[in-house]
Amino acid sequence: IVVYMEGIQNARRFMSALRSAAYAKPVVVLKAGRKPAGNEAAQTHSAAIVGSDDVFDAALRRAGAVRVRSFVELFSAAKCLASRYRPVGKRLAIITNGGGPGVLAADWENEIGLDLGRFSSETCAALAPKLPPLASLADLIDLSEEAGPEHYRLALEAAFRDKQIDGLLAIFSPKAGADAEAVATVLADAKRLASKPLLSCWMGDASVVPARRILRAAQIPTFRTPEAAVGAFGNIASFYQNQQLLQQTPPPLTTLSKPDIEGARLVIESVLAERRNVLTEMESKTLLAAFHIPVTKTLLARSSHEAMMIATQLGFPVALKIDSPDIAHKSDVGGVALNVHNGSAARDAYTDMVQRVARVQPGARINGVTVQKMARGRRGRETCIGLVSDEPFGPVITFGAGGTMIELINDRAMELPPLNQFLARRLIDRSRVAETLGEWRGATAVDLEGLEQVLLRVSEMVCALPQLREMDINPLIVDEQGAVAVDARIVIYETAQGGSRGEVAGYGHYGHLSILPYPARYEAVWPLRGGGEYLVRPIRPDDAQMVQRLVKELSPESRYFRFVSQLAELPPSMLARFTLIDYDREMALVAVHRERVVDEEGEVSHKERIVGVSRYVTNPDQTSCEFALLVADDFAGKGLGSRLMLSIMDVARDRGLAEIQGLVLANNPTMLKLMRRLGFEVRTFEDDPEFRLVVHQL
């Protein structure tokens, strides 16, 4: 699917449609109007450095689509992705008979974040004796000017076998005596055996036109310049990485200790009651602490004498910072004093700071000065976790380098919430500061898991508190012992309907998010007729194999009643389509039964099995939906069918839908009986007399 677009009205519906399409086939998007949003009103560093185009990038990445910047790239991407190449990693090997074009291609790989695919030492040792004497296999696979069709064939076969290579680009430069068509024929033959993407660049014009025809006939994407070919492979690699992001369905809350959401809401309500939008450092840190984010202990001094006493109790050295709801960046007005080493210095720093701030910003309200112990760890890295609110995508979490030079460093990796551990790690990896988080200049590697946990906690905050508009945790100091928030600034705003920004029907507190979290609130345990129990819960992507087992073990009749086809198992695309859902336009509930398994040695374990699925998909009218139901043959007659139907109807009702309908084969009396028992109206279906239309008002 190739999309040209200029803007969107409804982020939730756009993301839902895009994710749904991208499960099934590659989607390439060219967006016009890339100029920055010009965020003059930003009250935090994060909001000042993030433009709307960056957010659009993050949204497309999470939806599994590929973003391109020009019409030329659009057609290159379509050419490659339509070649049915399976998505792969980003190691592209370059096979060339000309050093210059090969080096240009390698340079462009580096520029766009790909890795140069290199032969393993075993492959080099086996291949080198068969190539011309001037050939080089160190980085590029440079076959030299003497290379003929046979040398290309040997190099291609070796590259297809080598596990260190994800894709190949064959470059041909016209040379005296070189046969462009013969080499193209070798590529066309090799394509039949290719287990990896194969792209070509036949340089020149009239002399290579016949060769390009051979490549096109073999459906090998061919380009006129090395850079265009490398860029096209970049789109295949992006597609693979973005498909991994697409498959993540994080919950709104992690499995860590529960946050104090009510306490956090009380802080927000008291600030809004005072008609304020900016939280003080004390309030901001209280909010972070409610979500178990480690913060430096901070106490507010309202006089120079108090500052001296607090500093002495905390232990030196301490840091003093001005506490004012009207000052966005404390260091800009001289409102920060670091490394204060004794009580008299703390007292003097308080007096000087209050006087200086009053002089520089006369209208600012000053609550006093906060005193905190200097953060531990001299070799800790300064990072920043931020939150910005985008129109129309809603909240976006950012991560990058922290400190006072944050805007200059301009490090802004970002991700749409909710996050899970996989997404948090990817977010860290995309930042420039990530390079300093391992062993770096004599410092030990930081506790990456601790940093991931803070990102997961921030994701929880964003999901649970729709009022959050902007946030800077800057600096967040990370070292081998974990992460600690030294300073924080949070901006909030009044939400629609007194507390949850547009609390959309059925979305609970998540109406402000453009990607819905896993809806754990629909989980429930039910008794099984005849003894035992089962869990009904929303489907997850990792349920694919259990759903496949359910379908495989059905009788041919049951399978035909559900799919109106004789398929023995679900093809991969259909399986993905059933299990990778975004909980917005459709919902699927599975019944999970825990089975007791005894192995040969008498060891007892429990294994989960999916024994039923109910689902609905919203119709284009947005008021009605179509359902489907499937129950394992050995669980028929145990009350599963009616429970799964009642549960899916509850979800549809919760989402504000007015009617649920479905098609049932006229020769399926068991299903029709269940429908009548549940109060469905059974009608004739005019389009096909073999079916009955069953309808229920919600």
Using pLDDT thresholds of 50, 70 and 90, give the confidence band for residue 44: low
DSSP code of 169?
A: E
Distance (Å, whole) CA 197 – CA 284: 50
Q: Give the pLDDT confidence score for residue 503 in this predicted structure.
A: 45
Weakest-pLDDT range from 255-259, 323-327, 451-455: 255-259
Backbone angles phi, psi at 50, to 5 degrees: -105, 120
CA 323 vs. chain centroid, Å, equals 36
pLDDT, mean of residues 95-117:
90
Most confident among 56-60, 124-128, 626-630, 686-690 (mean pLDDT): 626-630
541 with 505, same domain: the answer is no
What's the pLDDT band for 359 if we cut at 50, 70, 90?
very high
CATH number for the domain harbouring residue 591: 3.40.630.30
Would you state the pLDDT for residue 498?
38
What is the pLDDT averaged over residues 355-377? 87
Contacts of residue 7, Cβ cutoff 8 Å, sequence gap at least 6: 33
**In-domain check, residue 621:** yes
Query: Is pLDDT at 153 greater than 50 in this prediction?
Result: yes
- List the end-to-end C-alpha distance of the chain, in Å, as a whole number: 35
Tally the domains of the chain.
Answer: 4
Q: Answer yes or no: do 504 and 544 share one domain.
A: no
User: Angle at Cα 58 formed by Cα 57 and Cα 61, nearest 5°?
Assistant: 85
Q: Coil, strand, or helix at residue 44?
A: coil
Q: Is the pTM value of this prediction over 0.95?
A: no
Q: b/e map of 550-585 (b: 16 or more CB within 10 Å)? A: bbeebeeebbbbbeeeeeeebeeebbbebbbbbbbb
Cα dihedral value 570, 573, 575, 576, nearest 10: 180
- Domain end among 201, 223, 245: 223
Instruction: For residues 175-204, give the mean pLDDT.
Output: 88
- Cα distances (angstroms) measured from residue 424 to each of 393, 419, 684: 19, 6, 52
**Helices marked H in 564-614 — which ranges?**
572-579
Q: How far apart are CA 131 and CA 595, in angstroms?
A: 60
Q: Locate tokens 């560093």: which residue?
A: 45
The conformational region for residue 142 under phi > 0 = left, psi -120 to 50 = alpha, else beta, is beta
Q: List the alpha helices (DSSP H) in 277-370.
A: 281-290, 304-314, 343-360
- Report which of residues 38 and 51 the model is more confident about: 51
Q: What would the pLDDT profile of 431-461 be if each residue is shown by its tens digit?
A: 988 888 888 777 888 899 999 999 999 999 9
pLDDT over 50 at 666, yes or no: yes
Same domain, 476 and 586: no
In a shared domain, residues 340 and 367: yes
Q: What would you report as the CA-atom Rg of the chain, rounded to the nearest whole angstrom?
A: 30
Distances (CA, A) of 696 to 576, 656, 657: 29, 14, 11
- Is residue 611's pLDDT more than 80? yes
Nearest to 645, CA basis, from 603, 614, 599:
614
pLDDT beyond 90 at 272: yes
Residue 71 placed within a domain? no
If one compares 302 and 577, the residue with the highest pLDDT of the two is 302
Is it the case that residue 40 has pLDDT exceeding 70? Answer: no
Q: Is the pLDDT of residue 41 over 60?
A: no
pLDDT band, very low/low/confident/very high, at 383 (cuts 50, 70, 90):
very high
SS3 of 538-573: ECCHHHHHHHHHHHHCCCHHHHHHHHCCCCCCCCHH
Confidence band of 287 (pLDDT split at 50, 70, 90):
very high
**Percent residues over pLDDT 70 in the chain:** 93
Confirm whether 280 is domain-assigned. Answer: no
Q: Is the pLDDT of residue 477 over 50?
A: yes
Instruction: Provide mean pLDDT across the span 591-597.
Output: 86
Which of 482, 510, 538 terminates a domain? The answer is 510
Place 182 in a pLDDT band, splitting at 50, 70 and 90. very high
Answer yes or no: is 254 within a domain. no
Domain with residue 488: its CATH number is 3.30.470.20
Residues 447 and 398 grouped into a single domain: yes
Same domain, 464 and 584: no
Is residue 175 very low, low, confident or very high in pLDDT (cuts 50, 70, 90)?
A: confident
| pLDDT score at 499 | 36
Residues 155 and 195 in one domain: yes
Q: Are residues 528 and 571 in the same domain?
A: yes
CA pair distance 570, 543, nearest whole angstrom:
13
Q: Are the CB atoms for 367 and 324 separated by under 8 Å?
A: yes
Residues 194 and 109 in one domain: yes
Whether residue 67 lies inside any domain: the answer is no
**Category of 325 on φ-ψ map: left (φ > 0), alpha (ψ -120 to 50) or beta:** alpha
We report the CATH number of the domain holding residue 359 as 3.30.1490.20
Q: Are residues 554 and 672 both part of a single domain?
A: yes
How does pLDDT run across 562-586, given as a tens digit for each residue? 888 878 888 877 887 888 887 888 8
pLDDT at 505 over 50: no
The torsion angles phi and psi of 558, rounded to 5 degrees, stand at: -60, -40
Amino acid of residue 296: T
| Collapsed DSSP state (helix, strand, coil) of residue 100 | helix
Whether 522 has a pLDDT exceeding 70, the answer reads: yes
Residue 224 has pLDDT above 80, yes or no: yes
For residue 154, pLDDT over 80 is answered with yes
Per-residue confidence band for 351, with pLDDT thresholds at 50, 70 and 90: very high
Q: How many CB atoms lie within 10 A of CB 494?
A: 12
List the structure tokens of 190.
């090799």
The stretch 229-252 carries a mean pLDDT of 81
Lowest mean pLDDT among 329-333, 387-391, 405-409: 405-409
Q: Band the pLDDT of 357: cuts 50, 70, 90.
A: very high
Q: Domain for residue 265, yes or no?
A: no
Angle at alpha carbon of residue 71, lines to 69 and 75, rounded to 5°:
105
Least confident of 95-99, 143-147, 493-497: 493-497
CB 395 within 8 A of CB 513: yes
pLDDT over threshold 60, residue 188: yes
Q: Using CA atoms, how far apart are residues 608 and 550, in angstroms rounded to an integer?
A: 12
List the domain range (segments joined by +) for residue 343: 299-373
Decide: 508 and 520 in contact? Cβ < 8 Å: no
pLDDT band at 415 (very low <50, low <70, confident <90, very high): very high
> Do 368 and 460 lie in a common domain?
no
The number of CA neighbours under 13 Å toward the Cβ of 26 is 24
Q: What is the mean pLDDT of the chain?
A: 86
| Per-position b or e across 17-36, b if 16+ CB within 10 A of its CB | bbbbbbbeebbbbbbeeeee
The angle that helices 226-246 and 52-62 make with each other, rounded to 10 degrees, is 70
Q: Say what the pLDDT of residue 478 is.
A: 92
Q: Do both 604 and 658 map to the same domain?
A: yes
Q: Would you state the pLDDT for residue 34? A: 58
pLDDT at 496 over 60: no
Q: What is the CATH number of the domain that holds 135?
A: 3.40.50.261
Give the residue from 210, 150, 128, 142 showing the smallest Cα distance to 170: 142
Residue closest to 325 by CA, chosen among 565, 492, 521: 492
3-state class (DSSP) for residue 394: strand
**Mean pLDDT within 486-493:** 91
Residue that finishes a domain, picked among 488, 510, 532: 510
Q: Taking 70 as the threshold, does the pLDDT of residue 360 lie above it?
A: yes
Kindly tell me if the per-residue pLDDT of 622 is higher than 70.
Answer: yes
- At 204 the three-state DSSP class reads coil
Other CB atoms within 10 A of residue 10 CB:
11
For the chain, what is the total number of helices (H) and then of strands (E)? 22, 27
d(CA 464, CA 107): 45
Q: In this structure, are residues 130 and 152 in contact, taking their beta carbons and an 8 Å threshold?
A: no
Residue 196 reports pLDDT greater than 60: yes
Give the mean pLDDT of 111-122.
88
Name the band, by pLDDT with cuts 50, 70 and 90, for residue 190: confident
Residue 38 scores a pLDDT above 70: no
pLDDT of 504 strictly over 60: no
H/E stretch holding 338:
strand 336-340
* Amino acid (1-letter code) at residue 176: A
